[in-house]
Structure 1
Amino acid sequence: LARMRRSEVLVRNLDPESLPALLPDPPLAHAAYELLRGGKIPPRPPAEATASRKVSVLTHGLRLIVGEKDVELARRRRALPQLAGNLAGKELLPGILGIDRRRLAGAVWKMAAASYENQTQEVLAGWQRKVFFDFGRRFARVQGQLVPGIFGWVVAARGVADDNLAWEVFDVARTYPWQKALSDLATVHVDGDELDLGTRKVRFRRRFFRSKQRPVRVPVRERPETEDPADWLEGFDSEGVCSYPKEDLVIEDYAVFLQKKAVALLSAENRRTEPFVSSLLDGVDLKETLRNLHEGKIYVQELGRAPGSAGSVVVIFDEDPTGLEFPYCMTWHGEHDQESDMAFYSTDPFEQVVGPGITRATYGAFMMTYPPRRVFDVWQDRDYRMAHDKAELLTLAAIDYSEEKLVVHVAAKPPAERLGRYAALQKKRLVHIPLGALSPMTLKKIRVVHLLAGHDKRAVADRYIW
């Protein structure tokens, strides 16, 4: 019954990275509350102040455009709680302000979505926002909570989009700008595995912790960063630009898939169905048989034959009528006999440097044709001066360089009639596949391209490409 006395009690400074594991609420909620304790709603900062930055370079001279990482990061860390307090703060009692946790979730989504769209050039749809909040609410109910915490937000973000959105959500929610890694006291990092609190673990690619002092691994991929962005610019010393081989394999396979789909569409157009008499032809047509079940007949089908094989493939995500959103135009040849030649236009890759000599861009459109090493630089070819825009130029090039009769055209709307006539003069045919008929997730995957400043960057590209 003697009183227990603790000895060797030491006071230490807690590493900011440990806050999500130890605080019962998201660190951002604590930071916003600190601002609201003064009795006033904090002013709303500009939207660009809360967005995560991109490392950019100029093509001429590779001069650093966006730098001063520590200064910008500190400014953003101060702006995030201000916006959270502005959006989630409300008067609980006369003269007493507090945090509305539902509004806080909305603030986290708003800030994370803005950073995500800035980094990836992908626009989040309204249904993704709705599913994010629906999942968070139901997840909290299953866990016996009123509102979700960091873990619920991150898992919901990964479910409605990908690891990049999950990272942005986590990066926003863990913000507490006044906790410093350097202090007069020794800094300690408390790992969630060191806490014996009934830990549940889910193994994913990066380790994050759930609030309420119950560490959990959250499915978020770590995004490499550099202390000095100028270090990444040293990777642009080598001449020439090359692609990332793993992305090449994905886009080549998808081009083959589109070729097969185009042939299948034409075959379906020429399909013929008739009542069974003496031959099964190409098999029983179950759909037509069930539709005419009252006749007591079996219908068989004869599959049509496409008028040829598919050759060049052109995929148009955005026609870019102004010519400003996707200014970067390029033509490159396949490195071996298993790769196609490609021409494309995209966002400026030098506006987003993700590693040493590694840039990231988003396709506006691309054209692929096989066999390789045949294509002249289509952007300098005077034969295509009559093209109305860049998307039409790629379509004309796809027709000219196709060695097969069928040219696959993937876009939101069918090609212009003059393009069909241009193909007919060469005894070829444009086969249109609506962009909406294809998987959005696959299109999102193939739309991202990374350009490497030299073949030597391929050895380290896996660490930086996301």
Structure 2
Amino acid sequence: MSEETAPTYRPAWPDPLSLSRDELAELGLILPGVAVLPVLHGRLEFAWMVRKAIEKLTPTALAVELPESLGEPIRRAVARLPLLSVIEYPDSAGRPLYLPIEPADALVEAVRRGHELGIPVHLVDRDVDQYPAIRDRLPDALAAESAGARSFLLTALAAAEHSPRVPEDDLREQTMAFHVATLARDQPRDAVILVVCGLHHARGVVRQLFQILGERHPPATPLRRVRRDGAVLHHLSESASREVLAELPFVNAAYERSRGTAPPSAQGPAHAATIVDLFTRTRQAPRVDPFRSAAPPEPPEDRPHATGRMGMLLALCQQARKTHRERTGEALRPGTLLQLLRYACRYAYLEGGLGPDLYQLVIAARGFADDNYAHEVWEVATHYPWQTSRPEFPPLDLSLRDLHDRVRTIRFHPKTLQRRHRLMRVIKPRPKERRPGEWAEHFDGDNLCSYPPEDLALEHYGAFLRKRTERLQSASQTVVEPFSTNLYDGVDVRETVRNWHSGTLYVRRELPSRGKPGAVVVIFEDEPLHVAEPRFPWHMTWQGEHDEEGDMALYATDPFARVVGPGIGRALYGGFLLTRPPGTMFGVWEDPYYHDARSKAERLLLAALDHTPERVVVYVSPTPPRPALRQLAQRMDRKIVHVPLGQLSPVTLKRLRVFHVLSDRAARASARAFIRD
């Protein structure tokens, strides 16, 4: 996806994340010359909230909850955004601590926006080594997009009042209040200082400020660390950026684009589409905060509907679907993405959230598609476009475990070994071409062959379909009747118990069925024989190589268009025909005897009726054959048994549908390194 069409973050219209001065006053966050804005760290919604608050309040200074001892490296890291940075500094015991700097963080946005607008930015937090990161659960930040910022903060601040506190909380709030009060005394009378601090500390900072500003004498200077030795600024490596960012790299990139000058109408596909409510399938109207006094204006007609975090997640899944189809040739069924997002949201709800995190989204992608698509979701979600191979600072490789121990791992098992990743660690990719087209050069002759493990799996599935059809035919020929003089094939216990009140014994009589299953035709997707741009242009008739294999005719996607190894092409069956014994079927696609066929599926069915040594042809397809073909089968003393495709396991069918074509038999020796059995 190009940067011109890449998604951009926008909340719903009218903006629910915008706070006015009156709303902050109703929340008790306005003091003389001071406005306090509570935020959640590392959340996209609050970065947007900070940006809008600066626009509305036009503060003369910004006080940010970041340690003053790290002021210089923080300012340098913010100045190089959108390139990512991480600050490394030792604690009192000499152990390294890390502070990543990313765009979609409220505190980083406050520092960055202040520098862009020329507003003085002051870092006012206390420098502490070990601070507990586990708190009581607060409402998910995603709720602010629907309930509105004022309603969210009203609920979240009340919940934060009941959170457990540690001694460092009081010290940090006293230090922040001291810095803000000192700044307020030096500001003009009508000036406003905007304090951006964590939601857990907002009420405490307001109480401390109220007490300090009410005193006539200056507050006592608290003892604190004002300088941190050993702080080093690093460039965050590309592999580390996939793991350690608080928000997904995809989300960070969308927010970074929203800071540009692109108009709302040029936001890309995620916002040009119409997103529906994930649970009601209806278009979602903008929600109105009940605490706002004035009715919101009508949205412009050209305003896009897919907005907010869920709009970005939909764009993420759409981009992964596109890449998945390009790499595998498989298309997800209509409606899969909405069902996937519904499941991911329900999964998140069970774990105390509203919107899914990366782990929950990948698990949902695996469940509704497969490991290949789940891997594509991971790739898209963790890709950050602004990278450099020659940073001005030394790069640093971080793992999520270097920051905290709340890590969950998932392993991908894709069918083709393109690149296998753990969620938190990159695994060595498979061999690549030394130059474009090197592997395709192996297809230089007519000695094409198949991959034996796939042939074996296909023969086993054909035998399964024959036995299944034989059982169904036998069951249809079974007659249950009251016992008279002959037990026939035994007592029918079910019918006897059902009629126990009559005292009659029922027996089962199996009538002989005429003919056994022979040829097997499996149709995944039908296609007309003559079409301008066929989806399945490759036609082939293969003879079995030994007595354990039968003959096969097929139509499929072009295997030479997707080369996955030296002389190894990957394709997708549209349909295939299996018949035995081997060496009896030739030139199905060239034989003029089948010219009456209207589609490729009918041509395979006509060939099956012609070549099967048995009376019954098993025909697996989404739709039954037309009556004219059944009448033709009767004239040939054949019978077509239709098996609906939906009655068979979709997992097994999906695995069998992918196959590989090798340039010659010598390629079979190295094929295992590029094909997963």
- How far 1:132 moved relative to its partner? 1.2
Distance (Å, rounded) in 2 between the aligned partners of 1:24 and 1:87: 27
List aligned pairs for 1:11-410, cutoff 5 A: 11-38=233-260, 40-41=262-263, 82-84=268-270, 100-126=308-334, 128-192=336-400, 194-202=402-410, 205=413, 206-209=420-423, 215=424, 226=433, 228-237=435-444, 239-277=446-484, 280-285=487-492, 287-289=494-496, 292=499, 294-321=501-528, 322-323=530-531, 324-410=534-620
* SS of residue matched to 2:598: coil
The aligned counterpart of 2:675 is: 465
Distance (Å, rounded) in 1 between the aligned partners of 2:263 and 2:492: 68
* SS of residue matched to 2:620: strand
Deviations 1:147-189 (A, max 9, x none): 2122111111001110111122112211211023443444343
Given the superposition, is the C-alpha separation of residues 352 and 157 from structure 1 closer, same or farther in structure 2, using an over 3 Å criterion? same
- How far 1:28 moved relative to its partner? 0.6
Deviations 1:341-376 (A, max 9, x none): 111111222222223222222212111111212221
* SS of residue matched to 1:265: helix
Distance (Å, rounded) in 1 between the aligned partners of 2:671 and 2:619: 32
Distance (Å, rounded) in 2 between the aligned partners of 1:290 and 1:128: 45
Distance (Å, rounded) in 2 between the aligned partners of 1:235 and 1:385: 35
Determine if contact 1:41/1:86 at 8 Å carries over to the other structure. Answer: no
The aligned counterpart of 2:144 is: none
Distance (Å, rounded) in 2 between the aligned partners of 1:134 and 1:298: 53
* SS of residue matched to 1:374: coil
List aligned pairs for 1:410-425, cutoff 5 A: 410-425=620-635
* SS of residue matched to 1:199: coil
* SS of residue matched to 2:257: helix
The aligned counterpart of 1:64 is: none
What's the RMSD between the two structures over aligned residues? Answer: 3.6
Determine if contact 2:244/2:399 at 8 Å carries over to the other structure. Answer: no
- How far 1:465 moved relative to its partner? 3.4
Distance (Å, rounded) in 1 between the aligned partners of 2:237 and 2:629: 62
**Code of the aligned partner of 1:391:** A
Distance (Å, rounded) in 1 between the aligned partners of 2:435 and 2:397: 24
Determine if contact 1:370/1:402 at 8 Å carries over to the other structure. Answer: yes
Distance (Å, rounded) in 2 between the aligned partners of 1:313 and 1:402: 9
Given the superposition, is the C-alpha separation of residues 99 and 224 from structure 1 closer, same or farther in structure 2, using an over 3 Å criterion? farther
Determine if contact 1:27/1:174 at 8 Å carries over to the other structure. Answer: yes
Given the superposition, is the C-alpha separation of residues 462 and 135 from structure 1 closer, same or farther in structure 2, using an over 3 Å criterion? farther
* SS of residue matched to 1:178: coil
- How far 1:190 moved relative to its partner? 2.6
* SS of residue matched to 1:21: coil
TM-score by length of 2: 0.56
Given the superposition, is the C-alpha separation of residues 297 and 83 from structure 1 closer, same or farther in structure 2, using an over 3 Å criterion? same
- How far 1:8 moved relative to its partner? 5.5
How many positions carry a matched residue from both structures? 421
List aligned pairs for 1:439-450, cutoff 5 A: 439-450=649-660
Larger mean Cα displacement after TM superposition, 349-358 or 2-11: 2-11
**Code of the aligned partner of 1:301:** R
Determine if contact 2:579/2:612 at 8 Å carries over to the other structure. Answer: yes
Determine if contact 2:411/2:422 at 8 Å carries over to the other structure. Answer: no
Deviations 1:191-238 (A, max 9, x none): 4455552434455544333xxxxx5x79x9978765743233233345
- Which of 428, 453, 456 is residue 638 of structure 2 equivalent to? 428
Give unpaired runs (5+ residues) of structure 2: 1-91, 93-223, 276-285, 290-295, 298-305, 414-419
Distance (Å, rounded) in 2 between the aligned partners of 1:127 and 1:279: 56
* SS of residue matched to 2:521: strand
Deviations 1:71-117 (A, max 9, x none): xxxxxxxxxxx5457679999999xxx97212222111222223333
* SS of residue matched to 1:25: coil
Determine if contact 2:410/2:422 at 8 Å carries over to the other structure. Answer: no
The aligned counterpart of 2:18 is: none
Distance (Å, rounded) in 2 between the aligned partners of 1:178 and 1:86: 24
Distance (Å, rounded) in 1 between the aligned partners of 2:434 and 2:226: 47
Larger mean Cα displacement after TM superposition, 100-109 or 157-166: 100-109
* SS of residue matched to 1:169: helix
Determine if contact 2:271/2:307 at 8 Å carries over to the other structure. Answer: yes
Distance (Å, rounded) in 2 between the aligned partners of 1:376 and 1:265: 31
Higher relative contact order at CA 8 Å, sep ≥6: structure 1 or structure 2?
Answer: 1
- How far 1:287 moved relative to its partner? 4.9
Given the superposition, is the C-alpha separation of residues 270 and 10 from structure 1 closer, same or farther in structure 2, using an over 3 Å criterion? same
- How far 1:242 moved relative to its partner? 1.2
TM-score by length of 1: 0.78
Determine if contact 1:269/1:304 at 8 Å carries over to the other structure. Answer: no
Distance (Å, rounded) in 2 between the aligned partners of 1:312 and 1:393: 14
* SS of residue matched to 2:480: strand
Given the superposition, is the C-alpha separation of residues 5 and 374 from structure 1 closer, same or farther in structure 2, using an over 3 Å criterion? farther
Give unpaired runs (5+ residues) of structure 1: 46-81, 210-214
Given the superposition, is the C-alpha separation of residues 284 and 147 from structure 1 closer, same or farther in structure 2, using an over 3 Å criterion? farther
Given the superposition, is the C-alpha separation of residues 277 and 357 from structure 1 closer, same or farther in structure 2, using an over 3 Å criterion? same
Distance (Å, rounded) in 1 between the aligned partners of 2:226 and 2:398: 25
Distance (Å, rounded) in 2 between the aligned partners of 1:87 and 1:187: 38
Percent of aligned pairs with the same amino acid: 40
**Code of the aligned partner of 2:324:** Y
Larger mean Cα displacement after TM superposition, 417-426 or 437-446: 417-426
Determine if contact 1:15/1:181 at 8 Å carries over to the other structure. Answer: no
Determine if contact 2:662/2:668 at 8 Å carries over to the other structure. Answer: yes
**Code of the aligned partner of 2:508:** Q
Determine if contact 2:567/2:667 at 8 Å carries over to the other structure. Answer: yes
